[in-house]
Amino acid sequence: MLGRIFKAYDVRGTVPDMLNEAMAWQIGYGVSKFLLQDAAEAGETAPMMRNIVVGRDMRLSSPGLAKALIQGIRDHGGDVVDVGMVDTSFIYFAVNHLDCAGGVQVTASHNPPNYNGFKVSKRKAKPVGETTGLAEVRKHAAMVDKATLVKAHGRHEERDLWADYAKHVRRFLTLGRPLKVVIDASNGMAGTMIPRVFGKLTPKDAGGPAKFEIIEVNFENSKGVFAHEPNPLVASNMKQTQEAVLKHKADVGFCYDGDADRCMAVDEKGHIVGCDHLTALLAKHFLAQEGGGKVAYDLRSTKAVEEEITKAGGHPVRGRVGHVFMKQALADHGCVFGGELSGHFYFRDNFNADSGAIAMAVLLSILSGQSKKLSELIRPIARYAQSGEVNFQIEDKDGAIAAIKKELGPGSRENAAIDELDGVTLDCFASRGWWANIRKSNTEPLLRLNAEAKDKATLDKVVAMLAPRLGHKVDH
């Protein structure tokens, strides 16, 4: 049973058929055993290295799962710091703020309300995925026998860290001119986080003379239902944000996912801002502050990201898709900032971790600090034609990729350069005006295509050329 809910980056499944409180206890035990061993192997012997932060989202199943998880941690011997109902990025802050062995957030992020799960972090809030500890957690959880276990009675402490968290996030916010801001909380954790972090903002807190007005959309999060799927990557879920921006003549709109660790922006015209375009804009902000530096970006991003970073005096670091790899890229290269196409934004001064709240604070600072509208700032960055991520169903994924490399790679008519940092990227942007990345789904017979060209006509030709080789196009 446990094997079905352990994914590449977290634990997730429907409640109670795939995930229940008995399993949450097992996972708590497994998490404690892994995190305490990890700290010990790293030579960490301080008493707080037995502390594990636990938080939860607003789902109706979260309190029960959190209670069972906490008991499992304590029965192994871990000490629990229970921070209550918080957004996922709060956990990353708390683990570092309290210098703990790690943390767990009970959440299913953007999934429907009948789902739940666990996101696990270790020391310094480094992510725990399949290859970085989650397989060990699963093994420990599967092997424990609750009936025969000699319980260790770890400590359980409740802590309110909202004031410290708010102060940390507000460090990234400097306001000049007044702003009107629409926020769609998607009936998720942003409905709790935004009022606690930004709701009583004063000019002194913001580092500037002006407040900003927040227009709340879908902030109610106590009923366990969503007005729309809490996934801002799906365009239809952005409609309420877009409509509210136009109705209220707002400067900008934000739509958060369920656990509020990522958000997407809408400009004053009601247009969705691509997360790669936002990466480029935020990168320029940090590079100007730092006088240079390195910025990591998701390899599916527009070529304009690399170009804008270089133009701003920075050094672009092209990274693999996924928060495990992005956080590692920031740490390995000393990057000041990083951005992913999925809406995750990473900050050196946030322990290299992602934060939807900080991403919003930085964009508000950019807009408030000058007179240009968001659409005016994005327009020169959005200079190339993009396909977006297109999914194709095919059984022989490896065969299709091998054929494409042979037909379109070096020595072919297209003569595309090839790299395999993540999937396969074909690049003949300088010579023929296009590039494309093709990645395999880990769990489904799907290939995912992201293509870009210097103009729409070239993009259409490229997609038409690649599509028959990739399988049957699906909406996914």
Residue 9 banded pLDDT, cuts 50, 70, 90: confident
Of 68, 84, 57, nearest to 31 by C-alpha is 68
- For residue 200, pLDDT over 90 is answered with no
Predicted confidence (pLDDT) per residue in 145-164, tens digit: 999 999 999 999 999 999 99
Burial class (CB in 10 A: 0-12, 13-18, 19+), 17: exposed
Q: Which of 126, 160, 194 is the last residue of a domain?
A: 160
Predicted confidence (pLDDT) per residue in 63-118, tens digit: 999 999 999 999 999 999 999 999 999 999 999 999 999 999 999 999 999 999 99
CATH number of 446's domain: 3.30.310.50
Say if residue 94 is in the same domain as residue 191: no
Per-residue tokens: 3: 């094997």
Say if residue 121 is in the same domain as residue 226: no
Mean pLDDT (the chain) is: 94
Predicted confidence (pLDDT) per residue in 359-378, tens digit: 999 999 999 999 999 999 99
CATH number of 303's domain: 3.40.120.10
Exposure letters 140-149 (e unless 16+ CB within 10 A, then b): bbeebeeeee
Residue 442 banded pLDDT, cuts 50, 70, 90: confident
Query: What total number of domains does the chain contain?
Result: 3
Say if residue 372 is in the same domain as residue 460: no
Say if residue 10 is in the same domain as residue 91: yes
Q: Tokens 């934004």 correspond to what residue?
A: 345
Burial class (CB in 10 A: 0-12, 13-18, 19+), 427: middle
Say if residue 80 is in the same domain as residue 33: yes
Cα distance between residue 368 and residue 208, in whole Å: 10
Q: Which of 119, 141, 160 is the last residue of a domain?
A: 160
Say if residue 393 is in the same domain as residue 371: no
Q: Taking the mean position of all CA atoms in its chain, how far away is CA 449?
A: 20
* Prior bond of 112 cis (ω within 30°): no
Mean pLDDT of 5-23: 94
Predicted confidence (pLDDT) per residue in 203-249, tens digit: 555 555 557 899 999 999 999 999 999 999 999 999 999 999 999 99
Mean pLDDT of 273-297: 97
% of the chain surpassing 90 pLDDT: 90
Residue 323 banded pLDDT, cuts 50, 70, 90: confident
**Mind telling me the catalytic residues?**
109
Contact by Cβ (8 Å): 473, 464: no
Say if residue 304 is in the same domain as residue 444: no
Domain limits at 193?
Answer: 165-378
Cα angle at 352 between 106 and 354, to 5 degrees? Answer: 45
- For residue 2, pLDDT over 90 is answered with no
Predicted confidence (pLDDT) per residue in 125-135, tens digit: 999 999 999 99
Say if residue 100 is in the same domain as residue 228: no
- For residue 334, pLDDT over 60 is answered with yes
Per-residue confidence (pLDDT) for residue 1, from 0 to 100: 74
Q: Which of 160, 180, 213 is the last residue of a domain?
A: 160
Per-residue confidence (pLDDT) for residue 444, from 0 to 100: 80
Say if residue 52 is in the same domain as residue 16: yes
Per-residue confidence (pLDDT) for residue 203, from 0 to 100: 52
How far CA 250 is from CA of 65, 187, 219, 385, in Å, comes to: 39, 21, 18, 27
Contact by Cβ (8 Å): 285, 364: no
Say if residue 90 is in the same domain as residue 148: yes
Say if residue 143 is in the same domain as residue 180: no
Say if residue 180 is in the same domain as residue 270: yes
Residue 446 banded pLDDT, cuts 50, 70, 90: very high
